[in-house]
Amino acid sequence: MSDITTLRRVLRDCHTIAVVGLSAEWHRPSYFAAKYMQAHGYRIVPVNPKYPLILGETSYPDLKSIPFPVDMVDVFRKPGDCLPIAQDAVAIGAKALWLQIGVVNEEARQVAEAGGLTVVMDRCVKIEYARLFGGLGWMGVNTGVISARRPI
């Protein structure tokens, strides 16, 4: 579901967000979306086996390795990767599964909903938070770096 009431409820009630596919590279969409949510009071839990630490938080190799409760699983992975992520989100007792812009997987949605999770697909948490709660700060994609050079 992606109606305004559902989006508001998920963003209001889910304070600990496991971000699957969170990159440590500042120019990646996952990084600035997570940084924005962190700056607005959310606890970000990176899930990426490539990095030990992202945004000052310990990064875990997978959802089942997180040793504390998670409210939302935010997915920055391709649609084909979402089914096992949805299964793990159910297994860890998350409240919501959020698939980012461009990520739609009906099978993952069915598994998550059958497990009691609220599912949001093809939406960005950063954009929706700013739109629905008037998040002060960056409304666009402000990385805080002013440069005409492309990252290497």
Non-local (6+) Cβ contacts of 58 within 8 A are 46, 52
106/5 Cα distance (integer angstroms): 21
Q: Does 70 score more than 60 pLDDT? A: yes
95/80 Cα distance (integer angstroms): 22
Average pLDDT, the chain: 91
| pLDDT class of 147 with cuts at 50, 70, 90 | very low
Q: Domain residue spans in the chain? A: 4-133
18/101 Cα distance (integer angstroms): 17
Instruction: Give the residue, 145 or 32, on which the prediction is more confident.
Output: 32
Provide the CATH number for the domain formed by 4-133 in this structure: 3.40.50.720
Instruction: Give the residue, 49 or 152, on which the prediction is more confident.
Output: 49
**pLDDT tens digits for 106-128?**
999 999 999 999 999 999 999 99
Q: Does 148 score more than 70 pLDDT? A: no
| 3-class secondary structure, 112 | helix
